[in-house]
Amino acid sequence: MCVCRCLLSARKSLEQLTVAPRCGVIEFYTIFLRLLPLMVSLLAENKDYDAYLSYTKVDPDQWSQETREEERFALEILPDVLEKHYGYKLFIPDRDLIPTGTYIEDVARCVDQSKRLIIVMTPSYVVRRGWSIFELETRLRNMLVTGEIKVILIECAELRGIMNYQEVEALKHTIKTLTVIKWQGPKSNKLNSKFWKQLQYEMPFRRTEPMLTHEPALDVSKRLQNLRC
């Protein structure tokens, strides 16, 4: 139904373009801008994944209570809640990537098949320049600059003052469609927290209801134990 509405709207805009062959550059550009989000919506309907999850693991010698919580959130809580509670389909490189070419080519292909790009920005991600692949690969960079893919940046800690932080700020300014959401530690893990509401709002629309809405919002760690049983 959504695709049909987009096609009808796009058809009307194209008809306006064809019946006004002498329209000026400004009018043509206006119609083009009107069509662009419709075309993006149509392309998104054919994506295989709701989101690509980008995260850099913590080096063993950097382990601390804080990094343990961040890693557990990125590797367990975030994917489990999005997939098993909300019903989204994520692409997680360590789990889903099947090499078919170079690593960068494979990442570009899989991001291209995702409706959202979720970047979990931790101090380790910043220091190790985990985002650099999105600058090095031409296709990935074009997707960010043109707004072809919507980026959700989850900040897990205060990043100011960390090595390479200024590069992260520069990257943010190159991304056309960007939302920054703060993860504030264990208190954000509750399913009724502001964090999950913000994240769900930025994710693709789903017609199905969450799988566990009949239960009260508890700490996610308790939910995960139930989900794995």
d(Cα 70, Cα 197) in Å, to the nearest integer?
19
Q: Are strands 51-54 and 116-121 parallel, antiparallel or unpaired?
A: parallel
**Residue 62 forms part of a structural domain:** yes
pLDDT of 151: 96
Question: What's the total number of domains in the chain?
Answer: 1
| Cβ(16)–Cβ(38) below 8 Å | no
User: Among 31-45, 98-112, 117-131, 132-146, whose mean pLDDT is lowest?
Assistant: 31-45
Mean predicted confidence (pLDDT) in 4-31: 51
**Residue 87 forms part of a structural domain:** yes
**Residue 119 forms part of a structural domain:** yes
- Residue with the bigger pLDDT between 33 and 52: it is 52
| pLDDT exceeds cutoff 60 at 7 | no
**Residue 81 forms part of a structural domain:** yes
The whole-model pTM stands at: 0.73
pLDDT of 227: 45
Q: Look at phi and psi of residue 129 and say left if phi exceeds 0, alpha if psi is from -120 to 50, else beta.
A: left
Instruction: Clarify whether 202 is annotated catalytic.
Output: no
pLDDT in tens, 129-149: 888 888 888 989 999 999 999
Structural domain harbouring 97 = 44-202
Mean predicted confidence (pLDDT) in 189-213: 80
pLDDT of 177: 93
Query: Which of 42-56, 129-143, 208-222 is predicted most confidently?
Result: 129-143
| pLDDT exceeds cutoff 70 at 106 | yes
Q: Look at phi and psi of residue 85 and say left if phi exceeds 0, alpha if psi is from -120 to 50, else beta.
A: alpha
What is the average pLDDT score of the chain?
78
| Cβ(117)–Cβ(111) below 8 Å | yes
Instruction: Find the catalytic residue in 69, 83, 135, 167.
Output: 135
CATH number, position 117: 3.40.50.10140
**Residue 138 forms part of a structural domain:** yes
**Residue 228 forms part of a structural domain:** no
**Residue 7 forms part of a structural domain:** no
Phi (first) and psi of residue 153, to 5 degrees: -100, 115
d(Cα 168, Cα 161) in Å, to the nearest integer?
12
**Residue 167 forms part of a structural domain:** yes
